[in-house]
Amino acid sequence: MEKGSNIRPLIMPFIIGIVLGIIAKLIDVPYITSDFPIFDDIMGRFGIWVWAAALISIRSKTALFAATRSFVFFAGMLSAYYGYTVIFLKFYPKSQIILWSGICLITPFCGFLIWHVHKESYCANFISSLPLCIFFTEWYLTAFADWNWSAKDKLLLFIAYLCFSISLLAVVPTNKKRLLSLIYGVLISIVLIKLIQAEIIVNLYDQLLNV
């Protein structure tokens, strides 16, 4: 009975990963995204995956479950996405599979870390701000890197990342921690954007996604 109760919480993240992986693959089609490129930019970047994994981790009962469930989620997503690519499209994107497989291997640590937002400490406040920092930084670098984007697409992308941020803050315990997480996330993202624009640090978003 105990073994079954430990397995059940892992099934839903795996199913969610598979569903999102298939959706991401279906959206990654030119004639679907030609009129609405925002969908490709949302599903093809890190924000939505960080958001989903962070929600799964924070809602886990223990840090160990958070680590395991975040890994299972990414395993399901990658299996569906690249399984569809290889089996049905007869295409083997080796460099991308290696990249995302490497990211998948570190997700247990990330899930374990983000679960500690439940703790009462300044460190926990900083940890809970990290996904928000990714949202804010990625939104800005995505929306304003391509000056051909319309105001509508920029607004839609902003709404998407805003929804990620609000829903994630909703599961962060206590109003004080939510406020500090938001403040830290904004400040860190501003620093990162300035450093990237000054070419002091590399824009990892573009570097990794162009592998």
pLDDT in tens, 167-183: 999 999 888 899 999 99
CA distance 163 to 102: 28
**Main-chain phi, psi angles of 110, to 5 degrees:** -65, -45
pLDDT in tens, 69-104: 999 999 999 999 999 989 988 888 888 888 889 989
For residue 31, the model assigns a pLDDT of: 61
For residue 1, the model assigns a pLDDT of: 43
CA distance 4 to 68: 15
Residue 34 in this model has a pLDDT that exceeds 70:
no
Number of H helices, E strands in the chain: 10, 0
For residue 78, the model assigns a pLDDT of: 94
Residue 40 in this model has a pLDDT that exceeds 90:
no
Instruction: Please give the average per-residue pLDDT across 129-149, as a whole number.
Output: 84
Residue 157 in this model has a pLDDT that exceeds 70:
yes
Instruction: Please give the average per-residue pLDDT across 176-202, as a whole number.
Output: 91
Q: What burial class does residue 113 get, using C-beta atoms within 10 Å of its C-beta: 0-12 exposed, 13-18 middle, 19+ buried? A: middle
Residue 165 in this model has a pLDDT that exceeds 70:
yes
Nearest CA-CA partner of 54 in 157, 181, 202? 181
For residue 113, the model assigns a pLDDT of: 95
Write down how long the chain is.
Answer: 211
Mean pLDDT of the chain: 86
Nearest CA-CA partner of 167 in 22, 55, 46, 74? 55
Residue 211 in this model has a pLDDT that exceeds 60:
no
CA distance 98 to 147: 31
Confidence of residue 209 (pLDDT cuts 50, 70, 90): low
